[in-house]
Structure 1
C-alpha cells in the first residue's frame, strides 16, 4: 500500500487508533483534525521492544544526511522506520546537519519532517547569537535585554574593543565563536597585540557571579521548537 492510499484510510481506523493508550501518528498518514505525531519511546535506547511498531504499520521511512548518528538510526529502526537511499525523495524523516539549502526545505512535502529549521545554526555561533540579540535590543527595549554583557566580535571590532578596554580596565572573557566544552576560553585585562583570522567574542566579565560552593555553574533549559508560525515550544521537565 503506497503513502497516498494510507492518507485515504477509512475514518473508523483513525478513530480506533485515537482511542489507543499510546497514540502514535505521522503527518500525512492518518486523518485526524489535530496535528498527527509520532511518539518515540525511551525503551528504544535501552533495547527493550517498543509497544507499538508505528513505522512498520504505516511503512514510514527515514533518510540520513551529513551529521546523522548511530543513536538516531537505532531509535528510528526500533520504531519500525526503514532507511532509504541518499538519493531517494520518498521519506518521512530527514536527519541531517544544520547547513541545508533553502530549496531542499522548500520542496519538502506535508508528510516530510526535517530536524533543523533554516539558519538555526546561528543559535550555536556566539557571534551570530550576540548580533541577533543586539538587533532585538534595538528593536524593543534595553530593559528586556539587560542580561547581555558588553561584547565585541574580533578582529572586526578590534578598535571599538580597545576603546572600551581603556575606559574599563576590568576583566574580559574571550571565547571562540564556534567552539564548545570550554575550549579556547581565556580571561584577559589587556587587548591582544595580534589577532588571527578566526573570530573571537570578547565579553565583559561579571565581577560578582552567582556561585555554588565557590564554583561557577550552568543552568540549562532544554526546549524543542516545532514551529515558528505560530511559535510552539516544548520545555523538557526534569523529574527528580
Structure 2
C-alpha cells in the first residue's frame, strides 16, 4: 500500500482560520480538511469553503430564498446552473446546438474563402467530432425516435431518466412494444391508464411524466477486457466558464461489469452485464470487495499500448480529452459564471471495439464513497488536489477578488490544465503543495 506523507502548514494561524462546511459526511473530505487545520462549521453563513449538494446550491443562488450575496472569502463546489451539462437531456440539447453552430461556422469560413479568392480548402471544414450516441428526448422526440427505430429495427436502445444517477431507472429495449408497455403501465410516470396505446400513437401523449427521459442508441459492441464491458470515470475540474479554465485529473478509473458481456436480447434485463455503475454491480452475489471491479486509468493505458500500440492509445486519450473540451465549450454561453463557484465533474466515457470513445453522461456530484483501499487513496488525492487548485492559503483573511480561478499554474498535483481561455499574464502564481495537505507518491499518467 502506498504511504501518505503529511506536510504541516507553514502558517497555522492562517490555515486554521478557514472554516469549511459540508452536506456530506465523507471520510475523504474530513481527512483533507483536518490535515490542513481547517475548522468545520455548521453555520449557514460563516463558512469559507462549502462542499454542498445540488439542492443546497439551488437554494444558495436563488434570489427568492436568499438575500445575502456571497463574500469574496466564500467558495462553493457547484456552478448555479451546472445542470446544463449534468442533466442528460440538457447535455444532449446543448451539444447538438454547439455542433450545429460549428458546422454553420465552418461553411461560412469556406464560403468566405471562396468569395475572397484566398487559398481554398478542398472542402468545408470537417464536422465536429461526433461523440454522443444517437439520442432522443422523451416525450418530445417520440415521433422522431419511432422513425429512426423503424429504419434500424434490430437496434437496442437504452432508456434513462434525465436527472438520476447510479443506474437508477435505466433499462434496455429492443422493441417498440416494450416502450409502449412501459408508458402504458406508468413507468416513471403518474396517471397512466394502463389500457395500452394504439400502434401508431404516441404512448406518452396522455402521460404526465414525473421527469423527462432520454433514449439512446445502445453501444452494442463495446471494447471488452477479459470478456467484460467497462467504462471510464474521468474527473474534470472547472474554476471558470468565461473564460473557461479546466483541468483533467490523471487518476481516473475504469468500472467493470461483474458478468461477461453478451448482446443476446434474452440478457437485456441483466444489469450485471450491461450497467457499469458501482451501485449496481455491488449487488452481485460474489462481488469482489478487494478490487471493486475497478482498474486504474494507468493500467488501461498500459493494456491498450500492449494490445493496440502506443500510437493508437495516444490517439484515443487525445480524443477523450477533446470530448471534455468540446462539451465544456458547448455549455459555456449558458453557464452562470459565478466567481465563487468551482466544480469537479465526473465524465463517464465508453469505448467501443474500434476504440472510438462515446460520452455517456456527466455527473455533477461524482461519488466520494470508497469501496476499496485504492479507491480511497484516489479520492483522498483527488480532494487534496481540488483544494490545492481552488483555495488560496489566505482565503479567510483576505478573500479572493478573482474567485476560484486565482491559480494559474499549468499543473497542480494530479490536475493538468487542458483548457485555458484566459489572456496571458505577466507572471504565474504557482503555489506550493498544500500546507497541511496529503502528499502521496504518484505515478504520472501523461494525457
Could you say whether these structures have the same fold, taking a TM-score greater than 0.5 normalized by the shorter chain as the test? yes
Q: Does 1:185 align with 2:170?
A: yes
What's the counterpart of residue 12 of structure 1? Answer: none
The match for 1:176 among 161, 165, 174 is 161
Tell me how far apart the structure 1 counterparts of residues 168 and 149 of structure 2 sit (CA, whole Å).
24
Superposition pairs for residues 44-83 of structure 1, below 5 Å? 50-52=7-9, 56-64=13-21, 67-71=23-27, 72-83=29-40
Tell me how far apart the structure 2 counterparts of residues 96 and 117 of structure 1 sit (CA, whole Å).
11
Distance 1:156 1:106, change over 3 A: farther
Tell me how far apart the structure 2 counterparts of residues 220 and 105 of structure 1 sit (CA, whole Å).
37
Q: Does 1:224 align with 2:186?
A: no
Distance 1:123 1:106, change over 3 A: farther
Asked if structure 1 preserves the Cα contact closer than 8 Å seen for 2:16 and 2:36, the reply is no
| TM, length-normalised to structure 1 | 0.67
The match for 1:138 among 75, 100, 113 is 100
Tell me how far apart the structure 2 counterparts of residues 201 and 54 of structure 1 sit (CA, whole Å).
51
Q: Secondary structure at the match of 1:217?
A: strand
Higher RCO, Cα 8 Å, sep 6+? 2
Q: Which has the higher strand share?
A: 2
Once the 2 structures are TM-superposed, how far is the Cα of residue 202 of structure 1 from its aligned partner? 0.7
* Structure 2: 5+ residue stretches without partners: 104-125, 184-188, 190-208, 252-442
Asked if structure 2 preserves the Cα contact closer than 8 Å seen for 1:153 and 1:201, the reply is yes
User: What number of residue pairs does the alignment pair up?
Assistant: 194
The match for 2:71 among 109, 114, 118 is 109
Asked if structure 2 preserves the Cα contact closer than 8 Å seen for 1:63 and 1:86, the reply is no
Tell me how far apart the structure 2 counterparts of residues 129 and 228 of structure 1 sit (CA, whole Å).
16
Tell me how far apart the structure 2 counterparts of residues 216 and 105 of structure 1 sit (CA, whole Å).
49
Once the 2 structures are TM-superposed, how far is the Cα of residue 85 of structure 1 from its aligned partner? 4.2
Tell me how far apart the structure 2 counterparts of residues 159 and 80 of structure 1 sit (CA, whole Å).
58
Q: Secondary structure at the match of 1:143?
A: coil
